[in-house]
Amino acid sequence: MRRTEAGHLLVELDGASTNVDKVNSAIRRAVGETSTVSSLRQTVKVGIIGLDEVTTSKEIEQAITSTFQTDSVEKINMLKTARGQQIAVITVNTEVANKIVNLGRIRVGYVSCRTRMWLDIKRCFRCLGSGHETRDCQGTDRSSCCRGCGKHGHFIKDCQETDTNRTLFKETLRQEALRLSAQ
């Protein structure tokens, strides 16, 4: 047990402990209504790919609840794809995430969708590189440039550059990232 910077009491259990719910309920009984008791769990993101365009987050939650007998879905983000389909990025605890990914597919409504772990790639909106965020950037300021070709005067939605120029710009970004990581 220890105090956090905010003055809260933090009770830590070892990683192999399965008694989290028992400890949580015992503390709730002890403190009653005077304090709030919550448990923190490690969460990861899982992508559910190939949803149809009318699928809702409620349907996804119902599919996960019925398939895995759990209600541990903390957050659902819906992303639209170019062809009218959707991708759901769900945040669940690690145990449920492993079950979902190991199954490989999940049925949501009438559609059988692929599942995989979701990796968030850090992106910098200053140098347009990846692997770091703007606050940590040491690269060239390209915040007012096109993300496709790197030139001033337009943005990627209006970019008319050839594929060769776009490829050269991507290579420039890659070289700069290698140079900065070597420092």
| Proportion of the chain above pLDDT 70, given as a percent | 97
pLDDT digits (tens, 9 = 90+) for 76-106: 999 999 888 999 999 998 989 999 999 999 9
Mean pLDDT of the residues in the chain: 88
pLDDT digits (tens, 9 = 90+) for 38-74: 777 788 999 999 999 999 999 999 999 999 888 788 8
Q: State residue 107's pLDDT score.
A: 95
Residue 89 CA to residue 81 CA, distance in Å, equals 13
Q: Both tokens of residue 124?
A: 């910098």
Closest of 124, 160, 130 to residue 142, by C-alpha: 124
pLDDT at residue 182 is higher than 80: no
Q: State residue 138's pLDDT score.
A: 85
pLDDT digits (tens, 9 = 90+) for 128-165: 888 888 898 888 898 899 989 989 999 888 999 999 99
Q: State residue 99's pLDDT score.
A: 93
In the chain, CATH 3.30.70.330 covers 43-117
Please state, in angstroms and as integers, the Cα–Cα distance from residue 73 to each residue in 37, 62, 70, following that order.
Answer: 19, 10, 8
Closest of 68, 65, 67 to residue 76, by C-alpha: 65
pLDDT digits (tens, 9 = 90+) for 20-39: 778 888 888 888 888 888 77
User: pTM for this structure?
Assistant: 0.64
Q: 43-117 in CATH: which number?
A: 3.30.70.330
